[in-house]
Amino acid sequence: MHNLILVPSLFCPANCQYCFGPDKDTASMDINTIEYALDLALRLIEERNDSSRRIRIIFHGGEPLSAGISFFKQALPQIARRFQDSIVEFSLQSNLWLLTEGMCQLFAEYGVGLGVSLDGPEEITDVQRCKGYFQKTMNAINMARRHDIPTACLATFTRYSAKHMNKVYDFFVQEGLDFNFHQAVALLNKEKEDLWSLHPEEYGELLVNLFERYIEQPPGIKIDTLDSLCQSVAAGRGCICTFSDCLGDFFAIAPDGGIYPCQRFIAQEDSISGNGFCLGNVHDCLDIFDLKSHPFWQQLKQRQDVITDDDCSNCTYLSLCRGGCVYNTLSMGNKSPKDPYCPAYKRIYGHIIDRAMSEVFSEENLSLAVKEGGGLIKKGRLLELMRQ
Ligand code: SF4
Ligand code: SF4
């Protein structure tokens, strides 16, 4: 699967406390830049000679809806036309404040799934994002629901909301909203003090506690982050970008056509690599060899190799984790190339594997195996999630 992340605007009308985005420019991506970005994506697919021809197009920000309905009226049909021989999956990550009825009709027509940035109930969301955020976003979620647009939330856990994990969990269950979650991302630019990111041990604790609630009693909603972890264990490889060799599977395009290995690096001050994070510009008609020759690409590639051959080579979970996210490594100033959240990843993967083994060898499964023969019968909530 190829992932093309289009960032139509870096502007965002919200003012979240822990935001790592630049929010410094109101310019939107123009029609030419979209065309050149699609040219690049098609060239990359050809060069990889991938017969599946599946592509995921993710609109991200800043706040992508800041580009206005005119951007999406141009971009969506243009993408559908250029990728008519491929299977295209559209999604958009947004706070939805700027959503309109017209946008809903367009998103429903093109099957654009919405990922909504929301951290839980009002008293939590408004403290760590900004005042009034919750109500604006919930109003828009209800508008999207009236149009039957698939909607799932993305909750950011911080040092504050992790203390209220059960309130966050109960809120999404009561609202019938599926959700993903991640920890607040540290800033590459250290001008602001980082008051929000969880320590790796705290994040490990949170992962295990959320997982236990999810496993003990099916909540009637999906928590994709946890499902993916279970499926990763079953597949023997990481099923989300954090746990894969992401380099080359993701390309993010900034409003001016700048090409980045991930949207997290867009418009960030580069005081770390010394090479700049931007690999080139779509207007220059680059191919994969041009991108691979950029010093930042080489730095990322070298990290990937060192992880496999050296830093993580003896880790039991290497195939499931692949050293974690390079953005975390850079933003948290880790001396080692592995993601500083390593202890959290070890904790949750170890926990899932132990839990799966205890389900396989549960009394119920053992007595059924004795009664009915035919080996162990694999019954259990976790084993079901792993099989999905
Ligand atoms: S840098 Fe991190 S967030 Fe970005 S694609 Fe890679 S793993 Fe995912
Ligand atoms: S869990 Fe830690 S040591 Fe193991 S692969 Fe991931 S980052 Fe490396």
In CATH, what number is assigned to the domain containing residue 339?
3.20.20.70
| Widest distance between CA atoms in the chain | 69
Give the phi and the psi of residue 270 in degrees, each rounded to 5.
Answer: -100, 90
CA of 386 to the centre of ligand 2 (A): 21
**Backbone dihedral angles phi then psi of residue 25, each to the nearest 5 degrees:** -145, 135
**Residues 164-196 as b or e (16 or more Cβ within 10 Å = b):** bbeebbebbbeeebbbbbebbbbbbeeeeeeeb
Instruction: Tell me, using a 6 A CB cutoff, whether residue 107 lines ligand 2.
Output: no
Strand order through the sheet with 151-157: 179-183, 151-157, 112-117, 87-94, 54-59, 2-6, 250-253, 258-260, 280-281
Residue 46 CA to chain centroid, in angstroms?
A: 25
Q: Over 263-287, what HEC string results?
A: HHHCCCCCCCCCCCCCCEEHHHCCC
Instruction: State which H helix or E strand residue 11 sits in.
Output: none
Q: Is residue 250 within 6 Å of ligand 1 at its C-beta?
A: yes
φ, ψ for residue 151 (rounded to 5)?
-130, 130
State residue 132's pLDDT score.
98
Domain of 260, in residue numbers: 1-388
- Measure 4 CA to ligand 1 centroid, in angstroms: 13
For position 177, what pLDDT does the model report?
A: 98
Instruction: State whether the beta carbon of 342 lies less than 6 angstroms from ligand 2.
Output: yes
**What is residue 379's predicted lDDT score, i.e. its pLDDT?**
73
Residue whose Cα lies nearest atom 6 of ligand 1: it is: 246
**Tens digits of per-residue pLDDT, 344-363?**
999 999 999 999 988 877 77
291: helix, coil or strand?
helix
327, 330, 334, 342: residue to mutate for ligand 1 pocket, most atoms within 8 A of CB: 327
Q: What is the pLDDT of residues 80-138, one digit of tens each?
A: 999 998 899 999 999 999 999 999 999 999 999 999 999 999 999 999 999 999 999 99
Using the mean position of ligand 2's atoms as its centre, give its distance from the Cα of residue 184 in Å.
20
Q: How far apart are CA 38 and CA 53, in angstroms?
A: 14
Measured over the CA atoms of residue 326, residue 282, residue 76 and residue 43, the dihedral's sign is negative
Nearest CA to ligand 2 atom 2: 342
**299-350: pLDDT as tens digits:** 999 999 999 888 899 999 999 999 999 999 998 887 889 999 999 999 999 9
Mean pLDDT across the chain: 91
Ligand 1 test: best mutation among 93, 272, 303, 326, most atoms within 8 Å of CB? 326
Helical H runs in 191-317?
Answer: 200-216, 224-235, 288-292, 295-306
Distance 50 CA to ligand 2 centre (A): 29
Q: What is the pLDDT at residue 375?
A: 63
Ligand 2 pocket residue status of 317, Cβ below 6 Å: yes
Q: Decide if 377 contacts 363 (C-beta within 8 A).
A: no
331 lines ligand 1 (CB under 6 A): no
Q: Quote the pLDDT of residue 333.
A: 82
Q: How far apart are CA 321 and CA 281, in angstroms?
A: 31
- Beta-bridge partner residues of 182: 156
What is residue 232's predicted lDDT score, i.e. its pLDDT?
95
**Does residue 108's CB lie within 6 angstroms of at least one atom of ligand 1?**
no
Q: Would the CB of 262 count as within 6 Å of ligand 1?
A: yes
Q: How many domains does the chain have?
A: 1
CB of 324 shorter than 6 A to ligand 2: yes
Residue nearest to atom 8 of ligand 1 (CA): 241
* Euclidean distance between CA atoms 151 and 149, whole angstroms: 6
Q: How many CB atoms lie within 10 A of CB 69?
A: 15
Taking the centre of ligand 1 as the mean of its atom positions, its distance from the CA of residue 326, in whole angstroms, is 6
Nearest-10 Cα torsion for 102, 108, 114, 118: 50
* Helix (H/G/I), strand (E/B), else coil: 17: coil
Which position has the higher pLDDT, 34 or 25?
A: 34
Q: Which residues fall within 8 angstroms of residue 348, CB to CB, at 6 or more apart? A: 204, 207, 208, 211, 229
In 10 A of CB 137, how many CB atoms? 24
Task: Give pLDDT tens digits for 56-74.
Answer: 999 998 899 999 999 999 9
- Give the Å distance between the CA of 313 and the centre of ligand 2: 9
